[in-house]
């Protein structure tokens, strides 16, 4: 017998009505042959119950069906129900619609259940709708669940936690039906042990919720968008023709000349809206948002639990009593407790294949999520239409940031080329490379290191000039103004998007409390209630009720959260200390490795010590940063969870703050050390500073620490972008996808016939990765923004590498959202939230850090001081000798002098070191000289002048560029005026109708008064009939 065919035995008309509990008919409810003979109440229930089924299924009057093997009917005694030849999956577009092929699936709930080994269950695709649920809710369990009940009753082992979850699902789904949603269940899927609940929101529910959420919807009224005239119009047309090849080929991206007037949806004013096509009036993004709001709002309060007798019942009684007192079980709580394993809206369809129907997902894949269109603009309006405003704003911000990196990259390249062009004209580096100067430098380490010639550091000095030249100062000022301009440009772009997306009057409402917060409040109220009962055992019932009402309004205070706050403070301090300790460990590695390599007898080995130590230390720093980034992300989430924030928005903001703080310290601490601390606390020959009395603090190269800072910054920035951002984002999803493919392949070998069928849409989406939020995406871009702005004076090519990374990053993130992730719930937002404040903070900090880098890390200020105070001929000749101090080798401490003083081939009496100190023949030998104080004063003055000047210029840019574009403010004002006109016209129409009806009423009254006396007896009746027509405004 075919698996899809069902054998039934019809009962005679005289058979008693209702379910037969005989072993032969166990688990099946039958209807009599003549339904009219059934009781009227039952007839009504059955008709209502199956009124939502498609026509071809209405004839099957079976409430609960068990497997054919379990029922045990004989073929010759049964009536055969032939399966339809038409593929039912094709009617519902493989899961995008209900089984009737008409109602669209707006949301999916997924749960795990344990299948019985007694036999394979038949397909349970069960329909719920508004009419059936209310009539059947008290009479019988939710359809499709009786089978599991009966099968579990026959099993010897009962899992009470599974029963609890199942009963909570039943109650929750019943409440969803009462809220107006329509449900359909499917447990006969290719994913064994996983059931799906499909949810559809009918028209009346969509209208009701759209009104509650104050969704702005387009009205019938259309108006002309203000167009530019004259020269601006010609310029815009030329720009459009030039940029036409890089515009995406989507309808939403084309420039519009007219716009529909938008107004918050209202059921009383439906005549204002264009409802000619109700199926497309609310798009899939809006429908899923509405359903998600209902899912969050709908509660599961009873937490029914049909436990049997025995130890299991006693074991879970306490937990059950607590659960029953919890008044709220929204979808977030049910997901957290494992009642449902997932909840998500469906993608619009497939994005690849030969016979794929056109849909927004496929269009996004072709015009946005493809590396072949990297040179095109993003179709932001289509992204917003499919994923919602919050994700649309992220990609819009990323696009603006990437566009603004283009001018910064061009200027950075020019600055770098200027350094390359002037390297041969740089007098200080030429003096360092000139072997005729014969400057002998003091040893870089004790005993094992010998004296060395300054000309051996020629390559380092020439390379330093590429980044340490007067153009870098200009570039630092430029990047500070660039950051301010970028922020202002984004604010204006954000306002344009708010206008286009009808978010101008949108205000975020307080979100629903999180499941963890509600559980914590419940625990607190239960604890107080227990204490209250202990104190007042014999109080009357009224007092207990008042106390219960008071505990219902319980909330968490700072006293409740104080242990979590203390843990957060200690944890963050510990993590910051751990980062410092690791950086200190890398410093020890650098010092010890430099000393070990200096013992090398080969001259080439000794000359490459500094480069080898620097490169290996930076790679170690990079590996540690990548590892700690993942660790700190998990720790920040845990620290935020123990705080128990009330709403998801509070949780996200606190998580972002902690994660950014830890990752900022982790990424920039090694760079801060090289920029501001290395070489500052070295001491001098004969009086060096030691760590643990054995390791001498390392010094900067003769050309300064700026070159080393450049190497450190470039390797960490490029390494993070290449490994963490791109390799992880590509590699990890591919690896997870491969693991899922291998699991499915193993199952396919066990059940080949089952897997030959095409998967439903909700099954395919279930195998995708869940959406984890935008925090990781924003975080990597914010850290990159810090690399671009904070130390840009040492690495002018940072904007260029950021630009190249972002071109790939946009398409990589787009591909991930379209093909690798489940469709996220669309969230309305009018800005990027806390990230904007973080960006502004980094922009302000960048001004200060670049001022200190220029004045203290580079030699820009010492050169200016020498040029205007000490130079004899107004040139830089003699600058290198001016920055070097002298040391008598006889003043070395015991045991610190070089083991081989004759390494250079001659005896050294005076060696040089970089510092401003008195010579050994002075009265105050080795004391800090006056030159040091002059340079220090100039450096501090430069910091103050640079910081205030650039801050003033940034604020001036902020002030001179308005936040709202003039044309957008005019359009917003125009919309308000037009809306007032629409309502005034509507009111005038109503008044005219009332005046017309009054005139008609008056004329009819006069006609009634002119009747003959014979009709006087019926005068009052006829008069009343004249006034009895209904008045409908």
- Which residues, other chains included, contact 972 with Cβ-Cβ below 8 Å and sequence gap of 6+? 499, 504
Helices and strands, counts by H and E, the chain: 36, 19
Kind plus residue range of the DSSP H or E element containing 914: strand 910-914
Alpha helices in 157-283 (DSSP H): 160-178, 203-213, 231-243, 278-281
CA triple 425-427-433, angle to 5 deg: 100
Identify whether the C-beta of residue 216 lies closer than 8 Å to the C-beta of residue 502. yes
- Residue 6 has a pLDDT of 37
Q: What is the pLDDT of residue 181?
A: 92
Rg, Å, the chain Cα set: 39
How high is the pLDDT of residue 304? 40
Those residues whose C-beta lies under 8 Å from the C-beta of residue 695, and which sit 6 or more positions away, are: 588, 591, 592
* Distance of alpha carbon 164 from alpha carbon 308, whole angstroms: 12
Give burial (CB, 10 Å; 0-12/13-18/19+) of 846: buried
Q: Does residue 822 contact residue 344 with C-beta atoms inside 8 Å?
A: yes
- Pick left, alpha or beta for residue 227 (phi over 0 → left; psi -120 to 50 → alpha; otherwise beta): beta
Residues in the chain: 1033
In whole angstroms, what is the distance from residue 169 CA to residue 111 CA?
9
Contact 364, 818 (CB under 8 A): yes
Residue in 321, 583, 408, 378 with CA at minimum distance from that of residue 493: 378
Query: Which pLDDT value is given to residue 35?
Result: 40
Pairing of strands 125-128, 440-441: unpaired
State the first-to-last Cα distance of the chain, in angstroms, to the nearest integer: 64
CB atoms within 10 A of CB 670: 24
State the angle between helix axes of 458-467 and 389-421 in degrees (0 to 180), rounded to the nearest 10: 130
Report the alpha-carbon distance of residue 271 to residue 214 in Å, rounded: 17
Nearest to 223 by CA among 985, 988, 987, 971: 971
User: Which pair of tokens denotes residue 324?
Assistant: 């029953």
* DSSP secondary structure of 814-872: HHIIIIIBPPPPP---SS-THHHHHHHHHHHHHHHHHHHIIIIISSHHHHHHIIIII-S
Q: Which helix (H) or strand (E) holds 219?
A: strand 216-224
Model confidence pLDDT, tens digit, residues 258-288:
888 888 888 888 888 888 888 888 989 999 9
**pLDDT score for 972:** 85
CB 807 within 8 A of CB 724: no
Report helix, strand or coil for 931: helix
- The CA-atom distances, in angstroms, between 758 and each of 89, 561, 754 are 9, 51, 9
In this structure, how many other beta carbons lie within 10 angstroms of the beta carbon of residue 54? 14
DSSP string, 565-602: HHHHHHHHHHHHHHHHHHHHHHHHHHHHHHHHHHT-SS
Instruction: Tokens for 355, please give them.
Output: 């016979």
- Give the per-residue pLDDT at 310: 38
* Region of 770 on the Ramachandran plot (φ > 0 left; ψ -120 to 50 alpha; else beta): beta
Q: Where are the alpha helices (DSSP H) in 351-507?
A: 360-367, 380-387, 389-421, 427-433, 458-467, 470-500
Q: Give dist(CA 359, CA 222) in Å, integer.
A: 27
Which residues of the chain, if any, have pLDDT below 50? 1-86, 116-156, 303-327, 542, 544, 547-548, 551, 753, 1012-1033
What pLDDT is stored for residue 92 in this prediction? 61
Q: In which element (H, E) is residue 184 found? A: strand 182-186
């Amino acid at each position: 017998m075919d698996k899809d065919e069902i054998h039934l035995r019809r009962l005679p008309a005289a058979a008693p009505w209702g379910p037969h509990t005989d072993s032969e008919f166990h688990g099946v409810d039958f209807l009599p042959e003549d339904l009219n003979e059934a009781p009227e109440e039952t007839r009504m229930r059955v008709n209502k119950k199956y009124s939502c089924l498609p026509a071809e299924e209405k004839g099957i009057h079976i409430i609960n069906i068990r497997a054919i093997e379990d029922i045990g009917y004989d073929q010759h005694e049964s009536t055969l129900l032939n399966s339809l030849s038409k593929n039912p999956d094709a009617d519902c577009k493989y899961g995008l619609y209900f089984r009737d092929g008409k109602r669209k699936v707006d949301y999916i709930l997924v749960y795990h259940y344990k299948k019985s080994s007694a036999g394979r269950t038949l397909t349970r695709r069960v329909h719920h709708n508004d009419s059936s649920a209310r009539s059947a809710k008290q009479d019988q369990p939710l359809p499709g669940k009786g089978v599991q009940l009966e099968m579990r009753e026959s099993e010897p082992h009962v899992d009470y936690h599974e029963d609890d979850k199942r009963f909570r699902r039943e109650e929750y789904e019943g409440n969803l039906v009462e809220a107006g949603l329509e449900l359909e269940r499917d447990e006969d899927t290719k994913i064994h042990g996983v059931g799906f609940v499909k949810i559809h929101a009918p028209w009346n529910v969509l209208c009701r919720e759209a009104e509650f959420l104050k969704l702005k919807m387009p009205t019938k009224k259309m108006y002309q968008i203000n167009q530019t005239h004259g020269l601006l119009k010609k310029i815009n047309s030329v720009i459009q023709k030039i940029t036409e090849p890089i515009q995406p080929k989507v309808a939403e991206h084309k420039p519009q000349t007219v716009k529909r007037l938008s107004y918050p949806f209202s059921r009383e004013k439906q005549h204002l809206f264009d409802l000619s096509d109700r199926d497309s009036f609310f798009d899939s993004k809006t429908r899923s948002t509405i359903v998600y709001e209902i899912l969050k709002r709908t509660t599961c309060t009873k937490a029914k639990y049909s436990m049997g007798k025995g130890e299991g019942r006693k074991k879970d009684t306490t937990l059950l009593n607590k659960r029953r007192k919890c008044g709220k079980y929204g979808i977030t709580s049910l997901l957290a407790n494992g009642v449902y394993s997932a909840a998500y809206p469906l993608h619009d369809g497939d994005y690849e294949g030969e016979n794929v129907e056109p849909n927004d997902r496929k269009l996004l894949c072709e015009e946005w999520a493809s590396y072949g269109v990297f040179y095109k603009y993003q179709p932001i309006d289509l992204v917003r239409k499919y994923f919602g405003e919050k994700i649309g704003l992220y990609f819009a911000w990323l696009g603006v940031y990437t566009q603004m990196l283009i001018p910064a990259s061009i200027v950075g390249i020019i600055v770098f080329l200027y350094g390359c062009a002037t390297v041969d004209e740089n007098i200080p580096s030429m003096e360092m490379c000139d072997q005729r100067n014969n400057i002998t430098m003091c040893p870089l380490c004790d005993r094992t290191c010998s004296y060395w010639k300054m000309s051996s550091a020629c390559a380092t000095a020439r390379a330093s000039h590429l980044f340490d030249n007067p153009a870098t100062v200009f570039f630092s000022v430029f990047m500070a103004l660039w950051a301010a301009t970028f922020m202002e440009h984004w604010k204006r772009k954000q306002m344009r998007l708010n206008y286009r997306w009808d978010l101008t009057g949108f205000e975020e409402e307080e979100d629903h409390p999180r499941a963890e917060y509600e559980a914590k409040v419940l625990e607190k109220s239960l604890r107080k209630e227990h204490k209250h009962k202990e104190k007042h055992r014999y109080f009357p019932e009224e007092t207990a009720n008042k106390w219960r009402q008071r505990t219902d309004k319980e909330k968490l205070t700072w006293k409740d959260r104080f242990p979590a706050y203390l843990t957060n403070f200690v944890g963050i301090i510990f993590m910051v200390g751990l980062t410092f300790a690791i950086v200190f460990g890398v410093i020890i590695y650098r010092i010890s490795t430099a000393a070990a390599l200096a013992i090398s007898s080969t001259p080439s080995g000794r000359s490459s010590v500094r480069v080898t130590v620097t490169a290996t230390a930076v790679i170690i720093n990079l590996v540690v940063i990548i590892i700690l980034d993942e660790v700190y992300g998990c720790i920040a989430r845990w620290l935020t969870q123990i705080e128990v924030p009330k709403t998801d928005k509070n949780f996200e903001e606190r998580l972002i703050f902690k994660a950014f703080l830890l990752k900022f310290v982790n990424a920039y601490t090694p760079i801060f050390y090289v920029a501001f601390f290395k070489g500052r606390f070295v001491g001098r020959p004969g009086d060096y500073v030691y760590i643990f009395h054995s390791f001498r603090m390392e010094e900067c190269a003769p050309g300064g620490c700026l070159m080393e800072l450049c190497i450190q910054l470039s390797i960490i920035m490029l390494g993070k972008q290449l490994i963490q951002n791109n390799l992880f984002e590509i590699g990890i999803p591919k690896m997870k996808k491969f693991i899922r493919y291998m699991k499915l392949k193993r199952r396919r070998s066990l059940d080949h016939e089952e897997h030959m069928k095409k998967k439903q849409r909700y099954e395919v989406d279930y195998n995708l990765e869940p959406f984890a939020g935008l925090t990781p995406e924003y975080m990597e871009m914010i850290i990159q923004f810090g690399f671009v702005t904070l130390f840009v004076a040492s690495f002018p090519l940072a904007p260029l590498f950021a630009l190249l990374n972002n071109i790939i990053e946009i398409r990589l993130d787009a591909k991930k959202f379209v093909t690798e992730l489940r469709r996220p719930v669309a969230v309305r937002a009018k800005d990027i939230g806390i990230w904007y404040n973080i960006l502004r903070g980094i922009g302000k900090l960048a001004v200060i850090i670049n001022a200190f880098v220029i004045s203290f890390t580079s030699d820009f200020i010492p050169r200016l001081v020498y040029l205007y105070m000490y130079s004899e001929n107004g040139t830089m000749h003699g600058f290198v000798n001016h920055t070097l101090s002298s040391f008598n080798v006889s003043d070395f401490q015991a045991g610190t002098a070089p083991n081989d003083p004759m390494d250079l081939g001659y005896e050294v009496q005076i060696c040089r070191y970089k510092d401003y100190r008195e010579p050994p023949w002075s009265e105050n030998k080795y004391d800090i000289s006056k030159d040091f104080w002059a340079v220090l004063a100039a450096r501090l003055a430069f910091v103050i002048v640079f910081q205030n000047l650039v801050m003033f210029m940034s604020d001036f840019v902020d002030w001179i560029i308005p936040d709202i574009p003039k044309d957008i403010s005019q359009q917003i004002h125009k919309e308000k005026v037009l809306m007032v006109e629409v309502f005034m016209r509507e009111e005038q129409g109503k008044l005219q109708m009332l005046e017309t009806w009054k005139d008609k009423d008056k004329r009819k009254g006069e006609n009634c008064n002119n009747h003959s006396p014979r009709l006087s007896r019926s005068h009052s009746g006829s008069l009343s009939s004249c006034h009895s027509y209904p008045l409908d405004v």
